[in-house]
Structure 1
Amino acid sequence: MKSNDWLHGFRHSSPYINAHRGRTVVLTLGGEALAHENLINIIHDITLLSSLGVKLVVAFGARPQIQQRFDQAGLDAHFHEGLRVTPEDQLPLVIEAVGALRAHLESRLSMGLINSPMHGARIRVSSGNLVAARPEGVLNGVDFGYTGRVRRVDVEGIESLLKMNHIVLLPPLGYSPTGDVFNLSYEDVGSQVASALKAEKLIIFTGEDGVLDEDGQLIREMTVRQARDRLADAPLESHAADLLRAACEACVRGVRRSQIISYMRDGALLEELFTRDGSGTLVSDDNYEQIRGARVEDIGGILELIQPLEEQGILVRRSRELLETEVDRFTVVERDGTIVGCAALYEYPSEKSGELSCFAVDPSYRRAGRGDEILAMVERLARGRGLENLFVLTTQTEHWFRERGFEPSTVQSLPGPKLASYNTQRNSKVFVKRLA
């Protein structure tokens, strides 16, 4: 790393810091994550997020720790359809394992050693009977005993703690009005709590970089529909499937985004929150990325996108003042609050023709179909306005347009007003597409 690389990264993280300040983020950490050597770095990152004003809820699991208690006691664990059966005589071991982990997490979040990232942090951690549970009951003849599911989340209680800047710690235990304790799935706790709080994000830690495809490659983004298709078409390891289902469930119930990241990778949490593309798999059921008409507040983003192309002579220079008067002609691709693509449509109604102009896609997001999506949107707009032809002037990308149905034409074929303003020094080539 160059000596000033940190400065560049820090400055570019500021929009994300501002975006997350005061927002609620729910983290889920399985027992495997709590036993991993990278846990201390995750704790440091949680502390940093809290100091930046992010409201944090941490739901944790304890499966390997529970299994260790069973092994020490010489007991066999029983599962049915992937779900633990918890007889009454085994419940104390579950409570012991969960209680020990809770104390372990609280102690780690209380560290404040000099020369450590947590020095002076003074993190306050709260927990309690914030999740009400119901028994799983009997399924297919199997009595699940004290295994349960989330019945109700004490939203008011959690929010009151978050307002006091406490980190809320939720164990995989729930309580019933009868005074019973139930062993819960931490994935269910995290998903249900995130939904109830209408959290900005649910972040799920896993042993992989995220969700992997059949070739073992990371899938960066998935809609809920794509995630459910993945679950139906390509079998995942049982725990990975549970995590993906929890992510989908949260999104369907109102969480803007769920993100699945690695607990083994140092800094994965910060990278997921403070960079545009994150480190793992994003699952969303909202307009995380959308194509829409431009607004006045997009002008700065459009300028930032097109200025490098203007400097290279690929695009004609446009001033902020001109963009302000013509912003309603633009279509933009917005990704997580950043403009990553744009195009403008200039109409010539008397000739029933339109010009596709100022067409740009951020270099980091090319070759992913965004240019085609922008073109399709502009074509729909042109057809809807009764235009029969769409033309483009280009000096660099004639093959891209020809591959998409544009035919070579002449300068003399341009509409009169455009012909009068044609810049002969640029010597742009003209291509036209008939809009069927």
Structure 2
Amino acid sequence: MLRSPILSLQSPDSVTIAESGAQKIGAVNGLRGLAIMMVIVFHLFVPFTSSTPSFPGELDPNGLLAIVAKHGFLGVNIFFVLSGFVLYLPYRTRKRAITRLADFPDFYWHRASRLLPLYYIVVLVTVALHSKSPAGSHAWYLELGGLLSTLFIFVPHGFMPPSNPVLWSVAVEIWFSLLFPLLVLMIARWSLERLVLSSVVICSAFVVLGHLIAVDRIGVFRPFVGGIFGSCYQFIFGMLVCDLYVKSRDSVPLRRFHCRMLLPGVLLMIAAIYIKDNGPWAVSILYATMFCAGFSMVLLAVLSGAWSANRVFEAWAIQVVGCMCYSIYAWHSSIMVEMIPPDTSSLKDTLRLSLPYLAIVIALSALSYRYIEFGHQRDWRALFLLRSQKSNELTRASGRDHAGSKPVASS
């Protein structure tokens, strides 16, 4: 059975808000591309890396592939942090504003139009084709109702829906969107730093409590451990990174200081993974807090241009994958179950089928991204960053023409 993680994904137009950071914001798309690849690798190899593998001994548990695949689920934590960053950006830069309750409906309409069309289509398709209960039965209607309302993430045995387990994190994203306007008001009346500290304390308490509540056949109380109760702080970490990023855009000393966070952030992420696998129970259950804190440091450093790491994530291919990550995430599990059944596919079968599987996922996701997520967008080239890339090339060429052989920095 596939397990999952995700995310919320913002559109390319929502990440072009920053007036002076198109290049840096492109790195956010690239990081989302990395996160979705982590999740897919995790799901592809989970039959060989789980605590009870379907094919024991086929994959060396101490090998690099097994280690990378085993921890690919952390892509969901990356998604949540990035989601908080991108969602807060237009409000931090005052392109939009939430100052009163009357502003909530406009925000909710905007977010619903972004998240719900694809989500509902995927729900209907997967319940129709992959439901574990007979169509029309009580259990079938119960799962359908839970998915359509997103209330399934508050039920321990329904937290990962049988028809499509990965949808749990989309539902968490939707519930964070419901809370977001209230959080913006809290920041204005309280402070972002207080909100971050409070969220870490409260969410950590829920995570600990969730591990203490025994649930038959599952072990932990997932709504507290992985739901909005235990994960909200991850989005708020992203909001904090957004705040620090905006403050440093016009300050060279601040950007230099943020650049120094890259190596400590990477080390903290590695330490979090080690603690999860080897630390005492009381510490290991809070590994996600360490990991998200480390990734937040890395994100801020990348946005500040540390070691030119932002250029790595601004490569066109990984940016496009990042832009399409919502569609890729929404469809990849259902296609995987059909093409590479986890219970019957050996490691050899998985490796052999991976390339055609990825080709079909990318093709379907490109259509979904173009016609479901952004069916109202006429300029398909802009959606796939083709126009932006061509424009940048022309700008650089023009710069060379006017300044001899000296290149012009891209915007």
Question: TM above 0.5, one fold?
Answer: no
TM-score by length of 1: 0.24
TM-score by length of 2: 0.25
Structure with greater helix percent: 2
